[in-house]
Structure 1
Amino acid sequence: MSALRRTSLRWVLVNRLVSLQAMMLTGLVLAVVGGLWAGGYLVALEPEDETISVIEGALDRDPAGTLVVRETVALAQQRATMPELWFVIRDGKGARISQGNVPPEFAHIGDALDDIGQARLGWNVGDTPRATARMRWVDSAAGRVQILAGAGGTVPWHRLALAILTLFISVVLPILAVMTLTTLIATPVVVRRALLGLNDTAAQTERIDIDRRGARVSLDRVPEEIVPLVAAINGALRRLDDGYERRQRFLVDAAHELRTPIAILQIRIESIEPGPYKARLLEDVRRLAILAEQLLDSERLRQSVVPRSDIDLVDVTQHVTSDLAPLAIAAGYEIAYENSVERAPMSGDQGALERALANLIHNAIEHGGRHGKIVVSVTSTSISVTDQGPGIAPEDREHVFEPFYRINGGSRGAGLGLNLVREIVQLHDGTVEIHEGSNGGTRVTMTFGKRRSLR
Structure 2
Amino acid sequence: MSVAATAATTSASSSGLHAAIGDTCGICAMPLRSRLVHSLVKLQGIMLTMLGLLLVATLWTTGVIPHQRDEEAVVKVVSDAIFRDGNGDLALRSTPMLERLRAADPPPWLLVRDGTGHILKEGPVPPLYERLAGSLDDLGQAKFGWDRRPAKDDDRGAVMKRLETAAGEVQIITTTEAKLSHWKAIGWIALSFGLLTVPSLILMTLATLIATPIVVRRALSGLDELARHASQINIDKRGSRLPVDGVPLEVEPLVSAVNEALGRLDKGYDRQGRFLADAAHELRTPIAILATRLESLPPSEEQTRLIEDVARLANLTEQLLDKERLEHQRYVMQPVDLAEICARVAADLAPIAIAGGYEISFHKDADSVMAWGDRSALERALVNLVQNAIQHGGRRGAIDIAARLPAVMEVCDEGPGICSDEREQIFEPLYRVRPQSQGAGLGLHLVREIIRMHKGDVSVTNRAPNGACFKISLPVA
TM bin, normalised by shorter chain, reads 0.7 to 0.9
Cα separation, 2, equivalents of 1:95 and 1:170: 46
Alpha-carbon offset, residue 140 of structure 1: 5.5
Counterpart of 1:233 in structure 2 is: 258
Alpha-carbon offset, residue 300 of structure 1: 0.9
Aligned ranges 1:333-344 → 2 under 5 Å: 333-344=358-369
Counterpart secondary structure, 1:391: coil
Contact 2:415 2:468 in 1 (8 A): yes
Counterpart of 1:410 in structure 2 is: 436
2:423 counterpart of 1:400: no
Letter in 1 for 2:319: Q
Structure 1 unaligned segments of length 5 or more: list them. none
TM-score (ref. length: structure 1): 0.84
Cα separation, 1, equivalents of 2:131 and 2:438: 117
Number of residue pairs matched?
435
Contact 2:358 2:397 in 1 (8 A): yes
Alpha-carbon offset, residue 268 of structure 1: 4.1
Letter in 2 for 1:135: A
Counterpart of 2:73 in structure 1 is: 53
Cα separation, 2, equivalents of 1:346 and 1:77: 111
2:231 counterpart of 1:199: no
Contact 1:400 1:406 in 2 (8 A): yes
Structure 2 unaligned segments of length 5 or more: list them. 1-26
2:94 counterpart of 1:97: no
Relative contact order higher in (CA < 8 Å, ≥ 6 apart): 2
Alpha-carbon offset, residue 262 of structure 1: 2.7
Alpha-carbon offset, residue 165 of structure 1: 1.8
1:150-182 CA-partner distances (Å, limit 9, x unpaired): 77xx65442232112212333322222222222
Cα separation, 1, equivalents of 2:363 and 2:241: 49
Counterpart of 1:145 in structure 2 is: 172
2:233 counterpart of 1:208: yes
Cα separation, 2, equivalents of 1:118 and 1:35: 28
Letter in 2 for 1:372: G
2:240 counterpart of 1:220: no
Cα separation, 2, equivalents of 1:441 and 1:298: 28
2:107 counterpart of 1:85: yes
- 1:135 paired residue among 136, 155, 158: 158
1:106-130 CA-partner distances (Å, limit 9, x unpaired): 4446757989735499x98xx9xx8
Change (3 A) 1:132 1:249: farther
2:403 counterpart of 1:378: yes
Cα separation, 2, equivalents of 1:59 and 1:229: 78
- 2:462 paired residue among 436, 446, 454: 436
Letter in 2 for 1:320: V
Cα separation, 2, equivalents of 1:184 and 1:157: 39
Counterpart of 1:311 in structure 2 is: 336
Contact 1:356 1:424 in 2 (8 A): yes
TM-score (ref. length: structure 2): 0.80
Alpha-carbon offset, residue 216 of structure 1: 0.9
Counterpart of 2:372 in structure 1 is: 347
Cα separation, 2, equivalents of 1:176 and 1:22: 6
Change (3 A) 1:202 1:340: same
Alpha-carbon offset, residue 49 of structure 1: 4.1
Q: Which moved more, 1:344-353 or 1:170-179?
A: 170-179
Alpha-carbon offset, residue 397 of structure 1: 2.0
- The Cα RMSD (Å) is 3.4
Letter in 2 for 1:396: E
2:379 counterpart of 1:321: no
Q: Which moved more, 1:139-148 or 1:272-281?
A: 139-148
Cα separation, 2, equivalents of 1:199 and 1:371: 56
